Amino acid sequence: MIMVVVISALVLLALVGVIAVYNGLVRRRNAVDNAWAQVDVQLKRRHDLVPNLVETVRGYAGHERQTLSAVTAARTQAVSASTPAEQANAEHMLTGALRGLLAVVESYPDLKASRNFAELQEELATTENRIAYSRQYYNDAVLTYNNAIQTVPANLVAGLGGFASREYFQAPGEERGPARVRF
């Protein structure tokens, strides 16, 4: 009789432990999903600014078609990206295109002096900072989640519960190295 009670108590304790671990993994997975939603909101904000920026530049520098087309194409690719890896690559392309656009702007003093352009440029800079923060928050959530599903005993529950590793939102390889300064 005592043996049955002890075994029942151990089984119940193990079941409670599995439920607690499972619920913890669900909370961490939800935190990753929420963090990705925050990144997505900031990226959408950036994507929404690009057409206004392009139109403002077009008004002053309409003959810069190649640069404007590159920005528009990069934005389209960024909007259609679905995974963090695809999104990171698309955003890298968009950042490069926007840098090219801002370099072109240097040749147009009237455009640089435009209040509308200055406001858009400030809004874009603010959005870039928000993206960086959201990206860091997402990567921190992914780290916590991936660590949880890869450590014992949670990895056993994760395997049974279908919890898979998540991708980080990383800059492409060439952005990770030190900045190059050329004189």
Does residue 177 sit within a domain?
no
Residue scoring higher pLDDT (151 or 113): 151
Does residue 183 sit within a domain?
no
Question: Mean pLDDT over all residues of the chain?
Answer: 91
Tally of residues, the chain: 183
**Does residue 71 sit in helix, strand or coil?**
helix
Does residue 178 sit within a domain?
no
Q: Which amino acid is at 57?
A: V
Grade residue 182 by pLDDT with cuts at 50, 70 and 90: very low
∠121-126-65 over CA atoms, to 5°?
30
Contact partners, residue 59, CB within 8 Å, separation at least 6: none
Does residue 11 sit within a domain?
yes
Measured in degrees and rounded to the nearest 5, phi and psi for residue 65 equal -60, -40
**Whole-model pTM?**
0.85
> What pLDDT score does 173 carry?
60
Measured in degrees and rounded to the nearest 5, phi and psi for residue 56 equal -65, -45
Grade residue 112 by pLDDT with cuts at 50, 70 and 90: confident
d(CA 22, CA 30) in angstroms, rounded, equals: 12
Q: Read off the CATH number of the domain in which 152 is found.
A: 1.20.1440.20
Find the mean pLDDT for residues 135-149. Answer: 98
Does residue 102 sit within a domain?
yes
Does residue 162 sit within a domain?
yes
Measured in degrees and rounded to the nearest 5, phi and psi for residue 37 equal -60, -35
Find the mean pLDDT for residues 71-97. Answer: 93
- Percent of the chain beyond pLDDT 90? 77
Grade residue 175 by pLDDT with cuts at 50, 70 and 90: low
Residue that is written with structure tokens 């370099």 in the block: 103
Q: For residue 147, with 0-12 CB atoms within 10 Å meaning exposed, 13-18 middle and 19 or more buried, which class applies?
A: exposed
Contact partners, residue 178, CB within 8 Å, separation at least 6: none
The answer on pLDDT for 150 being more than 90 is yes
Instruction: Give 41-81 pLDDT, tens digit per residue.
Output: 999 999 999 999 999 998 888 788 899 999 999 999 999 99
Containing domain of residue 33, as a range? 2-170
Helix, strand and coil content of the chain, in percent to the nearest 5, comes to 80, 0, 20
The answer on pLDDT for 179 being more than 70 is no
Query: Within 10 A of 57 (CB to CB), how many other CB atoms are there?
Result: 23
> What pLDDT score does 106 carry?
87
- Total domains in the fold of the chain: 1
